[in-house]
Amino acid sequence: MLALKLVLPPTLIAGASLAGRRWGPRFSGWIVALPLVSGPVVFILALDQGTSFAAATAHGSLTGAAGQAGFCLGYAWSERAGRWPAALAGGVLGFVLGALGFQLAGRLPVAALVATLVVWISLTLSLMPVVPVDGAKVSFGRWDIPWRMMTGTVVVVAITQVAPAVGPRFSGVLAAFPVVTAVLTVFAHRLVGGFEANAVLRGLLLGMFSFVAFYAVLELTVERVGIVGGFSAAGAAAVATQVLGAAILSRRATRR
């Protein structure tokens, strides 16, 4: 169990970070929309607490997805002030408001909750400020990826430790906080500017549909087919959704 906590999350985060460096900030936001941190958290909770706990945590993570969209919106509009600390504070506030606002929606059946989330994410995309993006590349430095790996690992360990005390749904919301995205966005903002940060956030929003697909399928299947079957089905749903997102990103890039 400890080995999974210490090895799986940082490995996934490092791979996604390297991919984002190769294909740009929007792609990096899109790829980290996958449950690279929260997925291992829920997997470890499933092994430790059982499939019922994991299903409830998956439902909480769906509520947390609304918070992720709120983070993007809060950061993007707060960034207009030009300072990353204020933008980050706005993003955190947006996450809290988004997650709290969906607590009532969280009582809906999975299908209704997913439909509500799709509408909310789409609306958030339309409300994002239009910021021009140039071709500049972000130079994160040699310690960027190790720092992300360490941060993700700390989050996984912390959440799995407090999960039995705070309950499955709140654990799911905590696990959904966009830790890696916050790191990517702040570094992009500091080193290049708001347009680069905005690209990361837009990529995250486009990729969030796969996040929703993962947890919706996981909640519906993990108790019925077990941990391996449930996570396999959820992973397949997330990948299929991401492939569709990649096609959209590629088409938009071609038009430019």
Average pLDDT over residues 172-201: 76
What does the pLDDT read at residue 130? 77
Domain that holds residue 161: 2-130+143-255
In total, the chain counts a number of residues equal to: 256
With cut-offs at 50, 70 and 90, classify the pLDDT of residue 200. confident
The answer to the question of residue 178 being in a domain is yes
Q: How far apart are CA 236 and CA 164, in angstroms?
A: 28
pLDDT of residue 25: 64
Distances (CA, A) of 86 to 64, 77, 79, 90: 22, 10, 7, 6
Would the pTM of this model clear 0.85, i.e. be above it? Answer: no
Residue range 107-159, pLDDT digits in tens = 778 888 899 999 999 999 899 887 665 555 555 566 667 877 777 677 777 77
Q: How far apart are CA 42 and CA 87, in angstroms?
A: 29
* Helix orientation angle between 38-49 and 144-166, rounded to the nearest 10 degrees: 40
Mean pLDDT of the chain, nearest integer: 79
> Structural domain tally of the chain?
1
Taking residues 39-66, report their average pLDDT. Answer: 86
User: Could you tell me if residue 138 is inside a domain?
Assistant: no
Q: pLDDT tens across 57-88, in order?
A: 888 888 888 889 999 999 988 887 768 888 88
Q: Does 136 map to a domain? A: no
Instruction: Answer yes or no: is 164 within a domain.
Output: yes
What tens digit of pLDDT does each residue of 93-107 get?
999 888 887 776 657
137 in a structural domain: no
Residue 135 lies in a domain: no
Instruction: Give mean pLDDT, residues 217-228.
Output: 94
Which residue, 171, 179, 137, is CA-closest to 25? 137
In the predicted model, what is the mean pLDDT of residues 165-192? 75
